[in-house]
């Protein structure tokens, strides 16, 4: 059985590969594949494989969903965020934009507060996913060499509210379904 943390790693790796891939169209449209499997869309980037977490082999990993499809859904959630990161006043965000990626979680938290105040209809967990994915997308353009999936994986896995939200909705496979 695969843990929530391992599932999160698979999903974020797929999102990361999508954002840094030169051929974005291959990932953005995989959700419409009739087979629903990531096998045809597996890709490697800096040693990351979309289909499995580090330290796991295909023989001992049974993912109940296609991480590429979930990454596509996460990207759509991120697209809903309309924060202009260059105009936001946040010390944590400024540090992340200067390459201090260890401040990623703090930057997301400060951005959520600001964005949620303007969009009170959003639940915290949804705002968290939207802002964190949008920030990852922004950073992929600004500082791609400093970016690593562990920052978003850590932010999601370290936030019990977000984890509970995802699990309460039936897990990653039912996110935004």
pLDDT digits (tens, 9 = 90+) for 67-103: 999 999 999 999 999 888 888 888 999 999 888 888 9
d(CA 110, CA 126): 15
pTM of the model: 0.78
pLDDT of residue 98: 87
Question: pLDDT of 18-72, one tens digit each?
Answer: 888 744 444 444 444 334 443 334 444 444 545 444 555 544 556 677 899 999 9
Which 3 state secondary structure label does DSSP give 3?
A: coil
Residues 6+ positions from 61 with CB-CB distance below 8 Å: 2, 6, 51, 52, 53
User: What is the tens place of the pLDDT at every residue in 106-160?
Assistant: 999 989 988 888 888 888 999 999 999 999 999 888 888 888 899 999 999 999 9
């Amino acid at each position: 059985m695969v843990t929530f943390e391992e599932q999160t790693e698979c999903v974020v790796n797929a999102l990361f590969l999508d954002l840094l891939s030169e051929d974005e169209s291959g990932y953005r449209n995989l959700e419409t594949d009739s087979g629903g499997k990531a096998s045809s869309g597996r890709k490697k980037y800096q040693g990351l494989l979309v289909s499995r977490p580090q330290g796991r082999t295909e023989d001992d990993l049974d993912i109940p969903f296609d991480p590429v499809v979930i990454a596509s859904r996460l990207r759509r959630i991120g697209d809903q965020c309309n924060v202009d990161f260059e105009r936001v006043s946040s010390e944590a965000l400024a540090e992340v934009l200067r390459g201090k990626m260890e401040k990623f979680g703090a930057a997301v938290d400060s951005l959520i507060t600001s964005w949620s105040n303007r969009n009170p209809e959003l639940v915290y967990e949804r705002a968290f996913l939207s802002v964190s994915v949008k920030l990852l997308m922004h950073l992929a353009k600004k500082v791609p060499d400093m970016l690593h999936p562990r920052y978003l994986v850590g932010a999601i896995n370290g936030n019990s509210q977000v984890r509970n939200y995802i699990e309460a909705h039936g897990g990653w496979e039912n996110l935004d379904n």
